[in-house]
Amino acid sequence: MIEEYSFGKIIIDGFLYSTDVEVFSGKPLKVLLWRRKTSHLIETEDIKEAFGKGFEAIIIGTGEAGMARLAESAQEEIRKNNLRLVLQKTGEAIESFNKLVSQNRKIIGFFHLTC
């Protein structure tokens, strides 16, 4: 589970991360550092790990204040892949992620930790 989030940091399964992360459901959660071309514009390339792997949903945390935006092309790719999209400020997105993980859903989360 994602245990804690505050501006610029997140604790997942007891480990502290201070950079944006991709989180895959499962036991234990798989965590990768999330690197993007542009900090506040999320493009298809930035979420490519979500496609073709059987995920039910993609959860995107847009930052504490919700400053990150999802490009229309990325939204279209999500639709093409029949993924449920949850796009929320990061604190809310983490709550959604944890809820779906507790229901044993196969999901992936992308979390922007700052603004």
Q: What is the CATH number of the domain that holds 21?
A: 3.40.1230.10
The pTM assigned to this predicted structure is: 0.96
Domain of residue 89: give its range.
2-111
Both tokens assigned to 59: 């959860």
Q: pLDDT tens digits, residue range 22-56?
A: 999 998 999 999 999 888 999 999 999 999 999 99
Q: pLDDT tens digits, residue range 54-105?
A: 999 999 999 999 999 999 999 999 999 999 999 999 999 999 999 999 999 9
Q: What is the pLDDT of residue 10?
A: 99
Q: What is the pLDDT of residue 34?
A: 97
Number of domains in the chain: 1
